[in-house]
A = this chain, B = another copy of it.
């Protein structure tokens, strides 16, 4: 008898019909003799609707109140799932994040899980119940309800799987797994049967929408393999794990792209110590992630330009802090560009194999694509290019690295 933690996202529980279909899948797994813990997200667009409602009352809703409000979305879906399972003749019980022992800090809207106390979950499993847990939420020491922010339900599932020492952790979504590139851009894109944690992290951070990097990090930290698969089909999905075979190393796994990019250039910055800190500390305090940072080497003049990228959705907030900061360090002006996007190749061992970068740049050059900025990690090379050229770039790179072949 295996203990399986499954997670179903919003599109998998979008309405009563989908909930009943997913209930059938859960029952099938249960009837093969497994113990089941099922984490669910809010139905379809519920969370967005609740945010809209809050904004009708308060343009900037108070975070503690907003978290308690949003937590209701997952309570609705998890109680409905428990009802659907009972309708199929199985004992099932829904638990809020609090009841499931998901204990977090008090950073509302993006709380971190401090520990999981799975006492109640175990008790219900021991008496043969299927346990449905509301994803995306937890409770503080003061008994206040928090939400975990983006990727929250995936994180709930992985954290529960770790705390319960589950045999399997399965994330069900509306895509069939992790692909070598976005299949909408590259028809030849191939689904990967497996991928390493690190490569998945790079793919997730650099635009693959399959799974949020936070849950992958947690899986990596505790070495919990995570299966990503579709709740709409019976195909096998992609296993994210750490035990990749040797021969899988030193290979490009996939092409990621991300159009949620804005470039900010602070022009005419005095080239003296402390300037970068003066610019980036306010951004960090505002909770804005900065991606690529490039500082042009200044020759002679003691004046330099600093260019960096943020998520396009953060641009407005970023400028609110960068403009005063750049004035205070004596910079000339701030320029922005929202016509750019990122394309990345991800694979292990790239850093030590210069050939990858050269092949990437050549492929883009041959496709007539101009590279604006370059940034690399140990297992990723990213080029920032015109957003309009993204489909062409992804197709060219997929072909250049022969990703259609196993």
Which residues on A are within 8 Å of B, measured CB to CB?
16, 19-20, 50, 53-54, 56-59, 61-62, 64-66, 68-69, 71-72, 75-76, 79-80, 82-84, 86-87, 93-94, 96, 98-99, 120, 143-145
Is there an interface contact between A62 and B75, defined as CB atoms closer than 8 Å?
Answer: no
Bound complex: CA A76 to CA B54 (Å): 9
Minimum C-beta distance from A64 to chain B (A):
7
Is there an interface contact between A19 and B57, defined as CB atoms closer than 8 Å?
Answer: yes
Bound complex: CA A15 to CA B118 (Å): 38
Is there an interface contact between A75 and B83, defined as CB atoms closer than 8 Å?
Answer: no
Is there an interface contact between B86 and A66, defined as CB atoms closer than 8 Å?
Answer: no
Minimum C-beta distance from A29 to chain B (A):
19
> Can you report 22 residue pairs joining A to B where beta carbons are below 8 Å apart?
A16-B53, A16-B57, A50-B76, A54-B80, A54-B83, A58-B86, A61-B83, A62-B83, A64-B93, A65-B79, A65-B83, A66-B83, A68-B94, A68-B96, A69-B75, A69-B79, A69-B80, A72-B76, A96-B145, A99-B143, A99-B144, A120-B143
Bound complex: CA A50 to CA B75 (Å): 12
Nearest B residue to A132 via CB reads: B65
Is there an interface contact between A58 and B72, defined as CB atoms closer than 8 Å?
Answer: no
Minimum C-beta distance from A96 to chain B (A):
7
Is there an interface contact between A58 and B76, defined as CB atoms closer than 8 Å?
Answer: no
Minimum C-beta distance from A15 to chain B (A):
8
Is there an interface contact between B94 and A76, defined as CB atoms closer than 8 Å?
Answer: no
Bound complex: CA A98 to CA B143 (Å): 9
Bound complex: CA A82 to CA B58 (Å): 10
Contacts of A72 in B (CB 8 A): 72, 75-76
Contacts of A68 in B (CB 8 A): 75, 79, 94, 96
Contacts of A59 in B (CB 8 A): 87
Selected contact of A65 from candidates B69, B94, B143, CB within 8 Å: B94
Contacts of A75 in B (CB 8 A): 68-69, 71-72, 75
Is there an interface contact between A66 and B87, defined as CB atoms closer than 8 Å?
Answer: no
